Amino acid sequence: MTAPLRRGFPDATPDARDATTPADPFGLRRRFGALDGLRAIGALMVVLTHVSAHTATSFTEPFGGILSRFDAGVALFFVISGFLLYRPYVAARLTGTPSPDIRGYLWRRALRVLPVLWLAVAGVWVFFDHGTPASLYLRHAALIHIYWPENWVLGLTQMWSLAVEAAFYVALPLLAWLLVRTARDPLAFVRRSLLVLVLLVLASPVWVYVVTVLDHATAPQWLPAYLGWFAVGMALVTWQQARCLGILPSSWLDGWARQPVTLWLCALAVLVIAATPVAGSRGLAAAVPAEAAFKNLIYAVFALLMVLPCIAALRGHEDPSAVRVLSRGVGRWLGDISYGIFAYHLLILELVGPVVGHENFTGGFWRLLLPTLLITIPVAWVSYRYIERPLMQWGRRVYPRR
């Protein structure tokens, strides 16, 4: 019997909290429940940054600088995606077991992402269509809109990040295959993979700098600009699985990972730095090349600091108490519905605005935020309970995981 799935933003592969998951005979840790809470944090950060932008809070209020950088929640999503989706490839390489089946992997990714996306696109078309070309809706539904210059649609502007996520889904099997071939010896594989992934982390800001200099209309939204964020997650899971198997010895990183509150305070400090002009304007002005590149890199650091303490414990060891909080109660529940929060919140925000008398860029942060959340969260729960989870259960029966 298939156990109930629990997913948030579409980035999870195996359900880390599934009680029916058999024990791993190699000693690898397979359960990372705290990532649910981080997905919830990432989703709420995205909602907050959009409300702050709609109300001009980002560039008129003293605390608006931090809110303007809450788009770093996207980096959090991407790092978690890189960690969870690359984990089966690392585990297979280090244990000599078969790699994931690509057809089943792509099938489950499509079921996880597309139905909710199509519902959001349909909702925007029903409520806000004012002569928008049908091709724009179709490109959003296919997650290819980021490759056209004119890709803005009211209520769907957040979907650029989902298009990048989808590009990563497609690229991951090839990228994993290339990394797995770096060396036969497990230790050499781990070291070379970590080196390559660190280079990818550094390459993304370079890409952002170059395409910003060239003033390219769409390249700042393509996968290479954010591959470094996924690579952070891929590097973390390579390190974590190698530590589980004793391939890498204990190090200073383990000590830091056992201090979650310290790391999260450092992550907050990173956002404070990003809120200064060094990472670009917190308003609508476009960032210059150096600012855009710095922002890309510092968001990777933010997500690294947030995720590290949530995944570092080895199998048989408990996470720190502060980390365990994220995998329980409200954090776990919001993590389940985080994809729906992400997908539907802008549609609901645009519907709520006229009802509460909101006009863009005229203030009213709490007046817009509270009703948006009060409607978005129940809608996301209904979506998860009656659409997302049943579809994923069915998909697992069609293509069971190895």
Q: What's the mean pLDDT in 361-383?
A: 96
Lowest mean pLDDT among 11-15, 109-113, 265-269, 391-395: 11-15
Which is higher by pLDDT, 171 or 100? 171
pLDDT of amino acid 262:
96
CA within 13 Å, CB half, 279: 21
Taking only the tens place, the pLDDT of each residue in 38-77 is 999 999 999 999 999 999 998 888 888 899 999 999 999 9
Q: In this structure, are residues 57 and 333 in contact, taking their beta carbons and an 8 Å threshold?
A: no
Helices 102-128, 338-355: crossing angle, 10 deg rounding: 10
- Ramachandran angles phi, psi of 66, nearest 5°: -65, -45
pLDDT at position 131: 81
Radius of gyration of the chain (CA): 20
Q: How many whole angstroms from its chain centre is CA 351?
A: 25
Percent of the chain with pLDDT over 70: 93
> Is pLDDT above 80 for 20?
no
CA 18, CA 353: separation in Å to the nearest integer? 39
Closest to 180 measured CA to CA, from 170, 190, 171, 169: 190
- Listed in sequence order, the residues at least 6 apart from 113 whose beta carbon sits closer than 8 Å to its beta carbon are 10, 143, 162, 165, 166, 169
pLDDT digits (tens, 9 = 90+) for 218-235: 999 999 999 999 999 999
Q: Which of 228, 239, 198 is nearest to 29 (CA)?
A: 239
Which of the 8 DSSP states describes residue 313? S
Say if residue 14's pLDDT is above 60: no
What pLDDT is stored for residue 285 in this prediction? 78
Mean pLDDT of 340-362: 94
What integer pLDDT is reported at residue 12 of this predicted model?
Answer: 47
- For residue 106, the tally of other CB atoms under 10 A from its CB is 15
Check residue 97 and give its pLDDT: 87
Which range (35-44, 166-175, 176-185, 239-248) has the least confidence? Answer: 176-185
- Cα separation, 351 vs 343, whole angstroms: 14
Q: With cut-offs at 50, 70 and 90, classify the pLDDT of residue 181.
A: confident
pLDDT range class, residue 390, cuts 50, 70, 90: very high
Integer Cα distance of 8 and 336 in angstroms: 4
Q: Write out pLDDT tens, residues 254-299.
A: 999 999 999 999 999 999 999 999 988 887 778 899 999 999 999 9
Q: What angle do CA 33, 81, 217 make, to 5 degrees?
A: 150
Q: What distance in Å separates the CA atoms of residue 225 and residue 242, rounded to the nearest whole number?
A: 28
Q: What SS3 class is residue 372?
A: helix
Average the pLDDT over 207-217 and give the result.
Answer: 95
Q: Residue range 135-141: average pLDDT?
A: 95
Task: Name which of 73-77, 179-183, 330-334 the model is least confident about.
Answer: 179-183
Token pair recorded at residue 340: 């729906």
Q: What is the pLDDT of residue 183?
A: 77
What pLDDT, on a 0 to 100 scale, did the predictor assign at position 16?
43
pLDDT at residue 27, as a whole number: 73
**Structure-block tokens of residue 365:** 């942060």
Q: Mean pLDDT for the chain?
A: 90
Question: Residue 69 corresponds to which amino acid?
Answer: R
Q: Phi/psi of residue 262, each to 5°?
A: -60, -45
